[in-house]
């Protein structure tokens, strides 16, 4: 169920002796990294990630490479530079715009009165706990998987590291196998930021409420298949944290499609429309998995109840 990075040979290979020539050639395209429109009012996310500057142009990127490698590039680093340059700046700009849209959506939800009411009344959270989540969701956690923020091959789309609080997300074109399996031509076309930001809010299962864990446990329906690989995937996705991250993706998709709005009571009619969208291939793979691995009759209760986390955890890591 894992996938490696796809086609990275769109640009000619850069000779070891030629990379400094690119550095001084002035290849900047003058692009700036923007953000998508907010879905709901919320305090501005502090978008201070240095990647937003050095991935905005090849010139800026190569200057960083030169600073980090004053003695020149070894073959391994040169290959990574080649891979990165094939995606800069177009893919990086597109990725930040799409991931920012997802971050802004989640920030708007967490800062909404509807979210506070659900967290306080349904989950019994304290005012301090709700405020802490509101602060957490305003952090600029997204790092694109360039050579300075690599991702392990087994990480399909992204990864939240609980030790440093970063979300590392893939960007650029997917492989053909990934396109077929996930329905994405580009990594940033998926709901990776929503999914991983969900992990960042609950720190895996550490901050997920007992109420949420119980709801997921009682609703879980393992996917039956003759493919042995699904046995390990069933174990992986049975984690309440993984189901909860997919819930956020599901809610994001439904709002984007105009089917349901956060704060509304989720009904069987909403579920029917969601299933129709899924059958038509209109939902993100995360959202489809939310439907596939839970009993449908129990999904409204999950959507109408869960909004919470509890307290800060110890250091650990949660996979996408």
Name the more confident of 227 and 277.
277
Query: pLDDT at residue 293 above 90?
Result: yes
Give the pLDDT confidence score for residue 239 in this predicted structure: 93
Mean pLDDT of 245-269: 96
HEC secondary structure over the chain: CCCCCCCCCCCCCCCCCCHHHHHHCCCCCCCCCCCCCCCCCCCCCECCCCHHHHCCCHHHHHHHHHHHCCCCCCHHHHHHHHHHHCCCCHHHHHHHHHHHHHHHHHHHHHCCHHHHHHHHHHCCCCHHHHHHHHHHCCECCEEECCCCCCCCCCCCCEEEECCCCCEEECCCECCHHHHHHHCCCEHHHCCHHHHHHHHHHHCCCCCCCHHHHHHHHHHECCCCCCCCHHHHHHHHHCCHHHHHHHHHHHHHHHHHCCCCCECECCCHHHHHHHHHHHHCCCCCHHHHHHHHCECHHHHHHHHHHCCCCCCCCCCCEEEC
Mean of all residue pLDDT scores within the chain: 83
Give the pLDDT confidence score for residue 11 in this predicted structure: 34
Give the pLDDT confidence score for residue 179 in this predicted structure: 82
How remote is the C-alpha of 40 from its chain's centroid? 19
- Predicted model pTM: 0.81
Give the pLDDT confidence score for residue 301 in this predicted structure: 95
d(CA 196, CA 206) in angstroms, rounded, equals 15
Give the pLDDT confidence score for residue 235 in this predicted structure: 83
d(CA 247, CA 193) in angstroms, rounded, equals 13
Name the more confident of 217 and 204.
217
pLDDT digits (tens, 9 = 90+) for 165-205: 999 999 999 988 888 778 889 999 999 999 999 999 888 78
Give the pLDDT confidence score for residue 22 in this predicted structure: 38
Give the pLDDT confidence score for residue 39 in this predicted structure: 55
The lowest-confidence range among 9-18, 76-85, 145-154 is 9-18
Name the more confident of 123 and 31.
123
pLDDT digits (tens, 9 = 90+) for 125-134: 778 878 988 9
Query: pLDDT at residue 81 above 90?
Result: yes
Give the pLDDT confidence score for residue 7 in this predicted structure: 33
Angle, in degrees to the nearest 10, between helices 240-256 and 268-279: 90
Share of the chain above pLDDT 70, in %: 83
Q: Tally the residues of the chain.
A: 320
Mean pLDDT of 281-310: 89
Mean pLDDT of 237-245: 93
Give the pLDDT confidence score for residue 130 in this predicted structure: 84
Give the pLDDT confidence score for residue 308 in this predicted structure: 43
Mean pLDDT of 48-52: 94
Mean pLDDT of 281-293: 95
Query: pLDDT at residue 320 above 50?
Result: no
**With bands split at pLDDT 50, 70 and 90, how would you rate the model's confidence at 3?**
very low
């Amino acid at each position: 169920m894992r996938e490696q990075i796809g086609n990275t040979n769109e640009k000619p290979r850069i000779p070891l002796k030629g990379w400094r020539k690119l550095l001084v050639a002035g290849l900047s395209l003058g692009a700036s990294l923007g953000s998508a429109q907010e879905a709901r009012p919320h305090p501005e996310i502090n978008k201070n990630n240095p990647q937003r500057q050095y991935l905005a142009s090849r010139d800026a990127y190569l200057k960083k490479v030169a600073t980090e490698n004053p003695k020149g590039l070894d073959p391994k680093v040169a290959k990574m530079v080649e891979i990165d340059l094939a995606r800069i700046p177009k893919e990086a700009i597109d990725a930040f715009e799409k991931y920012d849209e997802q971050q802004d959506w989640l920030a708007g939800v967490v800062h909404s009165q509807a979210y506070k009411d659900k967290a306080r009344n349904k989950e019994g959270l304290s005012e301090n706990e709700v405020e802490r989540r509101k602060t957490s969701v305003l952090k600029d956690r997204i790092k694109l998987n360039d050579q300075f923020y690599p991702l392990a091959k087994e990480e399909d789309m992204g990864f939240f590291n609980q030790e440093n609080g970063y979300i590392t997300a893939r960007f650029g074109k997917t492989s053909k196998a990934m396109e077929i399996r996930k329905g994405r031509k580009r990594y940033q076309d998926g709901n990776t930021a929503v999914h991983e930001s969900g992990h960042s809010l609950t720190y895996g299962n550490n901050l997920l409420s007992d109420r949420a864990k119980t709801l997921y446990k009682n609703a879980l329906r393992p996917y039956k298949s003759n493919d042995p690989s699904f046995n390990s995937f069933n174990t992986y996705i049975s984690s309440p944290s993984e189901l909860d991250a997919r819930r956020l993706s599901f809610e994001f998709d439904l709002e984007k499609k105009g089917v349901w709005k956060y704060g509304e009571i989720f009904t069987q009619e909403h579920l029917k429309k969601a299933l129709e969208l899924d059958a038509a291939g209109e939902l993100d793979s995360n959202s489809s998995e939310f439907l596939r691995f839970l009993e449908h009759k129990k999904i409204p209760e999950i959507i109408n109840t869960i909004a919470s986390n509890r307290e800060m955890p110890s250091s650990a890591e949660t996979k996408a």
